[in-house]
Amino acid sequence: MPFPKNPNYVNWNLHFPGFFGPMPSKEDLYKLHINTREHPIEYETEESPEASGINRPIDFLDMGCGFGALVYELGRLYPDKLTLGIEIREKPSTFVAKKILAFRHESNFQQYRNCSVIRTNGMKYLLNYIRQHTLSAMFILFPDPHFKKSNWKRRIISDELLTKYEFVLKENGNIYYITDVYETFTDAVEKFERHPGFVKVSDEETQNDAFYKLLFNVTDECKKAIRLDQTLHSVVILAIELAASK
């Protein structure tokens, strides 16, 4: 799976047409850039400062975006913000990219150019794409619980990964986490609480958070859990300290 050497090698105008350079031609607007075998992306040369987003950050990141429900909704609700979904599986990534293209087509490319998806392993290559202290919010929704103890190191919340998340989040940026697996939830919260760069947002503040409310009414996983009367476990974590200052 190709990946950029660093964020300078990413041409974000391929993913968010018109936000990182001139509006592409009509023909180019219909091309998919997903980082799959059928729709590859080349990361061989450094891009211009404008195209690589030195002055225009990605705002919201959905880690493991699945079939993209949250990505579409954030794109619709926040047209002046950029939402990126990262998904390691090829079929869901392709599904999301094609659905975004359909939304763009329906609006004559006036909407949904502010959301996109890339197929990559976010746990490995997050820092190759996202610049330091640029994200306002990160979403981790219904991550794989990896029940077997031998697979716990593959969970999306770990001490090492939290340091990466702190690196890409702005100070006072939030991580939104939700799962229907209590053991996974308690393990994640424990790791959040012992990391010096994060603090749990109070329940009172959480209830007034518009992003937090989205967690419960957007994704298919959440709707299914509510339909089956399953308990959902959620937390909002605030990045309080810049990694560069340590």
Instruction: Tell me whether residue 2 is in a domain.
Output: no
Residue 27 among known ligand-binding residues:
no
Residue 246 has pLDDT above 60, yes or no: no
Residue 47 has pLDDT above 90, yes or no: yes
- Whichever domain contains 21, its CATH number is 3.40.50.150
List the domain range (segments joined by +) for residue 224.
7-245
Instruction: Tell me whether residue 70 is in a domain.
Output: yes
Residue 238 among known ligand-binding residues:
no
How does the average pLDDT of the chain come out, rounded?
94
Q: How far apart are CA 62 and CA 90, in angstroms?
A: 16
Instruction: Tell me whether residue 139 is in a domain.
Output: yes
Question: How many other C-beta atoms lie within 10 A of the C-beta of residue 30?
Answer: 12
Instruction: Please compute the mean of the pLDDT values over residues 37-43 and round it to a whole number.
Output: 97
Residue 204 among known ligand-binding residues:
no
Instruction: Tell me whether residue 1 is in a domain.
Output: no
Q: How far is CA 98 from CA 32, 138, 193, in A?
A: 8, 23, 39
What is the H or E stretch that residue 33 is in? none
Task: Report pLDDT digits (tens) over 127-170.
Answer: 999 999 999 999 999 998 766 666 677 789 999 999 999 999 99
Which positions are annotated as active-site residues?
144
pTM of the model as a whole: 0.94
Task: Report pLDDT digits (tens) over 78-117.
Answer: 999 999 999 999 999 999 999 999 999 999 999 999 999 9
Q: How far apart are CA 85 and CA 72, in angstroms?
A: 10
Residue 82: left (phi > 0), alpha (psi -120 to 50), or beta?
Answer: beta
- Structurally, how many domains does the chain consist of? 1
Q: According to DSSP H, which parts of 11-89 are helical?
A: 26-29, 69-77
